[in-house]
A = this chain, B = another copy of it.
């Protein structure tokens, strides 16, 4: 086994989820991630915790087969139950480790969005319980994921393990500089090229430092915009992958916090569908600043892309609880879709009128 896989497993256990003797652990993975699952079982055995492996991730053939069969001839009205056994499992789980990997990243491309949405809705109590565990979402560099990134498998392995197997104490310290600026701030302005000039209030909303706990790799600082405060236009010049399909050159125009105009070069109708999910889907729920410079290229994978050095991202939809200050409005939505702006050239971030990043370079560097 590649020694970097064991290192990856050890970082998950020691750094991300703080694995303890007696912990009840669920590892959820596609079979192509077997090596990392095995390495995790070694660590789980070393520590004296209790493992259970499941294979429920979106992108597995079994979940696709189930969803299509359950939807039958009437996908618009598909109905699902909250599975009592899965809920009971997760209620007794201390640590939940989800490994992203697939043998075909477009496996869900023929699941009608209405079916996926109904299934997620029924599973939301399970998701809520997962979020109350010490959880971690990470990536195994399977060939299909390398293909999505338009990289050879070996180059992609190097990319993933460079981004994951690093000194997280150092990364945390670097990011703390940005948290110090953003946390007490009122107004943020993002300017990039011709397409992006947007301002928003973050007043009273805490800024979080993501250094590889819930997401591995980590490498961003993030907060929530005040929902009604967003004004201006954003051109997300990096594509996004949603439900197995690519949406490119998304442009959103905000007025009083709401998206009042939108366009995309490819799959615009899918973007429209997302925006029409609910009221919250037409408002921002997150502003994030990517600071993991080992992520030096775009790979069509939000777990990495949003942490890429010299980028910012904004999500439409739900705001994370820990980014909304007491008494502030929290954007509520069934969706949370991240989109990215390249900040490496002809770009700047202003906080309360001061430039804190220009063409990718921070003032504290």
Contact = CB atoms under 8 A, between A and B. Distances in A.
A62 interface: yes
A63 B50 CA distance: 11
Given A45-B68, A85-B92, A88-B89, A53 B54 contact: yes
B22 A81 contact: yes
A289 to B, nearest CB: 37
A216 to B, nearest CB: 19
A198 to B, nearest CB: 43
A339 to B, nearest CB: 32
A51 B83 CA distance: 8
Interface residues of A, number: 48
A84 B89 CA distance: 8
A364 interface: no
A65 interface: yes
A40 B37 CA distance: 24
B88 A88 contact: yes
Nearest to A22: B81
A354 interface: no
B88 A66 contact: no
Contact of A45 (B22, B50, B66, B87): B66
A48 interface: yes
Closest 8 CB pairs of A and B: A45-B69, A31-B31, A45-B70, A50-B83, A89-B89, A85-B92, A24-B85, A41-B66
Given A31-B31, A50-B85, A89-B92, 14 more contacts: A24-B83, A31-B34, A38-B61, A41-B62, A41-B65, A42-B66, A45-B68, A48-B70, A51-B83, A54-B54, A85-B89, A86-B89, A88-B88, A89-B89
19 contacts: A24-B85, A31-B31, A37-B61, A38-B65, A42-B65, A42-B68, A44-B66, A45-B71, A50-B81, A50-B84, A50-B85, A51-B62, A52-B56, A52-B83, A53-B60, A54-B54, A55-B55, A84-B92, A88-B91
